[in-house]
Structure 1
Amino acid sequence: MSAPLGVYPRKPSAMAELFASEKTLIGAVHLPPLPGSPSYRGQSVAELSRFAVEEAATYVSNGFDSVIVENHWDLPFLKPGEHGYEVAAAMGVITAAVVAELGSRVGVSVLSNAGTCSVAAAWSAGAGWVRVNQWANAYVANEGFIEGQAARTTRYRHEIGADPVKVFADVHVKHGAHAIVADRTLAEQTEDAEFFDADVLIATGSRTGHATSVEEVVGIRDHTQLPVIIGSGIDPGNVAALLAECDGAIVASSAKENGRWWGRADAGKVRAVARAAGK
């Protein structure tokens, strides 16, 4: 039976489908520059795949539940729709190597905000989900004017038969002005992302590595039926308090050897976050 008018039908929890753990920790695998990037230096995709598998192993062998694979060194980032075939191909092959070790609970994020490219890579690799930073509405970022990708991505996902791939969508996206005009509250943006068929919502700080406030997490959680996770700023000092208010977190900078997103994952720092989270 269809839901009453004005009420979103409740989805099965994508977090429960993908992960065995109730409070999920996801490590970010930030890949070196890929083919097509200005900083690419000719490494084979096999070599890049080995890097990704090593990073993933550091996370999961020290208490994390899974990882998300990101082309974070493909700077400056392209806008959605501008990524070449080489990006989807490289991300698919590299992610498939990680999936071979961890299974379908692995995620994919092609920056910036490339929903269709992420879905193509995830589906070809057997990964279970993608992260899309701007799912509904629009904002101004370093890349320029960025529009929500929900309509294009959901249609493309269905067209290639990739409906099982879940979408983790940021609500208050980092690295940009949060609205073109200040007329959309956090509650309204949360409801927009759910209405546009996201599966999991993400709360973040203002930049990579910046802490997400408890108020931001609660403000999203209280206006959605979907699972909510944190997308930036988790460290051993705040992970327990923040996880108490949501379903999980994506962790990067605090788990890196140099405390920055561009470092290698450090076993001791990964373990410190996991222990603080009660893993």
Structure 2
Amino acid sequence: MPAPKVLPAKANALDAIFGVRKPVVGVIHLRPLPGAPRYDGEAMSDIFAAAIADAKTLATGGVDGIMIENAGDLPFARPEDIGPESVAGLTAACMAVRGAVDTPIGITFVANGAIPGLAVAKAVGARWVRVNQWANAYVANEGLLNGAAPQAMRYRSQIGARDVAIFADVHVKFGAHAITSDRSISEQATDAEWFDADVLIATGARTGSPTSRKEVDEVREGTNLPVIVGSGLSPDQVPALFATADGAIVGQWLKVDGVWWNPVDPRRVEALMSAVKTMRG
């Protein structure tokens, strides 16, 4: 069944950013930044060096985009509690990566930091931000999180960042979906499109957990936007998921031993991109 036409068609953001079929975005999970509970005083230059090393491995391996995430800042602050030190740290890390590779970059500012993420993206020339809870509400590990879209879209206009695309999760991992349990995933996909996201993400239950083909299909049923896989993609899953998905974000699987805080493994990047190139034809 075709997706409902909730809004006039918009340009395909994946085509505009990456210019290839089925783009793959590799993730850099930053070490803890100043202000985070696990930050132990590590020199910022060492944090940047680790991020640059991962970026070069991803770029050399042929990924189409790189997403930078403050993954080490556990436990994550609620959006209203994200401090200037976190914004400064992520901005500086993104600038270090931008100076090392030509690959398009994007940002995830957890937890659900849509507005800080847009500020960083504008400052560093990032092409997109990933927002885990874009529409409706969700019982996350950080508590009740409201959809960020109304405030974030107004902020994006205010700072002149309309060229920064919104990659929005539809059925976000972690926590509980009790608030929207009476509404299907496809209906929630329609909500995210209605609230002006550019790309929708179908994801697994936790970091690195596989995304099911069923979930990708359900998201696609509710939208005319591009739909990408947001978690757990490995080479053996590429044929099934890329038969329907328009691309993927891959983090944990690309790391040494498949552990998210380890460095990126060049052999894993090569294996995944080989499978993707086969799907591209």
In which range does the TM-score fall when normalised by the shorter chain? over 0.9
Q: Report the residue type matching 2:207 in the other structure.
A: T
The answer (yes or no) to whether the contact 2:76–2:110 under 8 Å persists in 1 is: yes
CA distance in 2, matches of 1:196, 1:263: 36
The answer (yes or no) to whether the contact 2:6–2:194 under 8 Å persists in 1 is: no
CA distance in 2, matches of 1:86, 1:103: 26
The answer (yes or no) to whether the contact 2:186–2:220 under 8 Å persists in 1 is: no
Query: Structure 1 residue 46: deviation in Å?
Result: 3.1
CA distance in 2, matches of 1:63, 1:103: 12
Q: Which residue of 1 aligns with 2:131?
A: 132
Query: Structure 1 residue 272: deviation in Å?
Result: 0.8
CA distance in 2, matches of 1:96, 1:213: 35
Q: Which residue of 2 aligns with 1:92?
A: 91
Alignment deviations for residues 111-141 of structure 1 (CA, whole Å, 9 cap, x no partner): 1111001111111111110000000001111
Residues 268, 104 of structure 1: CA spacing in aligned structure 2 closer, same or farther, 3 A cutoff?
closer
CA distance in 2, matches of 1:7, 1:136: 15
Residues 181, 223 of structure 1: CA spacing in aligned structure 2 closer, same or farther, 3 A cutoff?
closer
CA distance in 1, matches of 2:39, 2:195: 35
Q: Report the residue type matching 1:227 in the other structure.
A: P
Query: Structure 1 residue 41: deviation in Å?
Result: 1.8
TM-score by length of 1: 0.94
Aligned pair 1:28/2:32, yes or no?
no
Q: Report the residue type matching 1:135 in the other structure.
A: W
Q: Give the structure with the higher percent helix.
A: 2
Residues 57, 104 of structure 1: CA spacing in aligned structure 2 closer, same or farther, 3 A cutoff?
closer
Query: Structure 1 residue 92: deviation in Å?
Result: 1.1
Aligned pair 1:13/2:8, yes or no?
no
Q: Which residue of 2 aligns with 1:83?
A: 82
CA distance in 2, matches of 1:52, 1:236: 24
TM-score by length of 2: 0.94
Question: What percentage of aligned pairs have identical amino acids?
Answer: 46
The answer (yes or no) to whether the contact 1:104–1:128 under 8 Å persists in 2 is: no
SS in 2 for 1:107: strand
Residues 180, 207 of structure 1: CA spacing in aligned structure 2 closer, same or farther, 3 A cutoff?
same
CA distance in 2, matches of 1:178, 1:99: 36
Query: Structure 1 residue 104: deviation in Å?
Result: 7.0
Aligned pair 1:165/2:164, yes or no?
yes
Q: Which runs of 5+ in 1 are unaligned?
A: 1-5
Relative contact order: is structure 1 or structure 2 higher (C-alpha 8 Å, sep ≥ 6)? Answer: 2
Q: Report the residue type matching 1:57 in the other structure.
A: K
CA RMSD of aligned residues (A): 1.4
The answer (yes or no) to whether the contact 2:34–2:89 under 8 Å persists in 1 is: yes
Q: Which residue of 1 aligns with 2:244?
A: 245
| Residues 1-279 of structure 1 mapped to structure 2, 5 A cutoff | 7-103=6-102, 105-278=104-277
CA distance in 1, matches of 2:222, 2:34: 41
SS in 1 for 2:134: coil
Q: Report the residue type matching 1:243 in the other structure.
A: F
CA distance in 1, matches of 2:57, 2:177: 34
